[in-house]
Structure 1
Amino acid sequence: MKNLPQSEATLLIRTDFSDEAAWQDLRTVVTTPSDEDDDFLAMLHIVDDPAYRDLTTEQIVALAPAEDDLLIVADEKALTGSEMPLLAVCMSDEDDDEGAGEDAGEDSDSKPGFDELRVVATELWSIENNISLANMDWEEFVDAAEEDGVFRGF
């Protein structure tokens, strides 16, 4: 399996290829500026390659460039849910004691840990902009997620 590309922008990796129309709809949403006065937009490098079909989060993390702090995954849930709940994956070093990485399991030996959070497509810009610029901490988004574990904005 080939490694994910390096990019200045946050990677959005498509892993579900079952519905091309749903994928195009999702792409339109995440590449359209917010409807707020400032027109915020997630800075994304879209990876639309069937080589990454059905990969797990662990496999994606293993293929990601080491310097990436945030990955976005367009999986089956994102392409079938009415709110297009993308999977945001926050990378952390193994020795990170902030709590990120807890979901990575105990066999993450020499690989970075990670934490996951669903984010509706219309709010992706908020997480991507603020995490990429280090304006906010990951935990602020986790804490703002609703009971179902989906971040829908502040």
Structure 2
Amino acid sequence: MLPAIVRRDEFAAVVIRTDYTDEPAWQAVVADLMQSWGEDGEFEARVHLVDDPVWAGVAPDEIRTAVSRDETLSVVFVVDRVTVQSFQRALLALDVWGEEEDLDPMYYQELIDSPLPREFRTCPAAVHDVHANLSLGNLYFEEFAEAASLDPEGVLMPL
């Protein structure tokens, strides 16, 4: 069983490292994530890094299960093998909200027929926008996933 993510600032984006093959790439991602963000860099970066080898190689569904105990999380970002090998250092954004139990049967059938996206890639510079907007309920996960799908590389760039 994976450990709970503890002692985190609820306003910080959670970034989980699952690849330990390239330390310089990890450090580059962390440096990018720590940059101020916003239109003029007016916001301080708030990131909770999970850098524990127990998470090495963990699959997205296992991550969702592990973090589902934290009801305040809507998204987590994963630094995986794709991240460390890509030029853009694109993190995997995972939708971690569970499905509603009391869904309208018609709506539920629509979800079965065409499920909403549960993940997309995002460059480090867009992580804070995604996290903030999802936390505040300004935008939905699928809106970010759609924006990422419009990029030729499938990576969400800063808004």
Q: Quick one: which amino acid aligns to residue 44 of structure 1?
A: V
* Displacement of 1:38: 4.2
Task: Determine which of 36, 60, 65 is the counterpart of 1:57.
Answer: 60
Q: Distance in 2 between matches of 1:22 and 1:122?
A: 15
8 Å CA contact retained: 2:13, 2:128: no
**Structure 2 counterpart of 1:76:** 81
**Structure 2 counterpart of 1:18:** 21
Larger Rg, first or second structure (1 or 2): 2
The structure carrying a bigger helix percent of its residues is 2
Number of aligned residue pairs: give it. Answer: 144
TM-score using structure 1 length: 0.80
Residue 135, structure 1, aligned to residue 120, structure 2:
no
* Displacement of 1:148: 3.8
Q: Distance in 1 between matches of 2:20 and 2:122?
A: 20
Q: Larger deviation: 129-138 or 87-96?
A: 87-96
8 Å CA contact retained: 1:86, 1:121: yes
What value does the CA root-mean-square deviation take over the aligned residues?
A: 2.6
Q: Which runs of 5+ in 1 are unaligned?
A: 104-113
TM-score using structure 2 length: 0.78
Q: Secondary structure at the match of 2:35?
A: coil
In the TM superposition, what are the counterparts of 1:21-100 in structure 2 within 5 Å?
21-34=24-37, 36-64=39-67, 65-67=69-71, 68-95=73-100, 99=111
Q: Which runs of 5+ in 2 are unaligned?
A: none
* Displacement of 1:133: 1.8
Q: Quick one: which amino acid aligns to residue 157 of structure 2?
A: R
